[in-house]
Structure 1
């Protein structure tokens, strides 16, 4: 998820308001797996490390979607990405963890075909099912 700076600022303001309410929980019924993870983090006292759950709630509340670039389908490069989690030691990964994931190379060239979307692109819910949302 990479929101534009204005949207990110609005999310941060919303987050601060919601965080002030000790009874509020960012549970999203449609995002059952993510909500389950968040509840596990709550039990462990680590919910503050899962900001994405708050962002999921925020986007659902506003009926927003995230665009996903399927670069391998358009670039013929199966190891290319716009962004990559390098799993640096820190909050979620420690320095002793073995990096057993495939390194993705960041995209080094651009084609306008990467941002040419169909008039009515498929929209997927959090569980991978295609859904109809009246936002496009």
Structure 2
């Protein structure tokens, strides 16, 4: 487990949002009743001219509704189509993930900066707040 934490620190993964926004009607629900879409960046392979903060990730759409944010998103269980964009300098890339969300899960969207470009890893689950498992 220590090696995993060290690995995450070395590759420079960082969460982009701190407070989840609610993507459902009604009062807030507990994490046992909701799932989370969390945004992460890995800037460890960027060209030296870029600082890690130059790699940006932004949510664009969730089930065809505009939701432009860089915060985590709290959702109810169900099927989702989620569109996001990563940006580094003048380069940007958009990707859409389709998934069936389950309550009490954290779906990690990871943007990787490499050279002067960025790309997305496969959608992953964040397990025990310590490791990513690709879906």
TM-score, normalising length: structure 1: 0.28
Which protein is richer in helix relative to its size? Answer: 1
Q: Answer 1 or 2: which has greater strand percent.
A: 2
User: RCO higher in 1 or 2 (8 Å CA, sep ≥ 6)?
Assistant: 2
Q: TM-score, normalised by structure 2?
A: 0.29
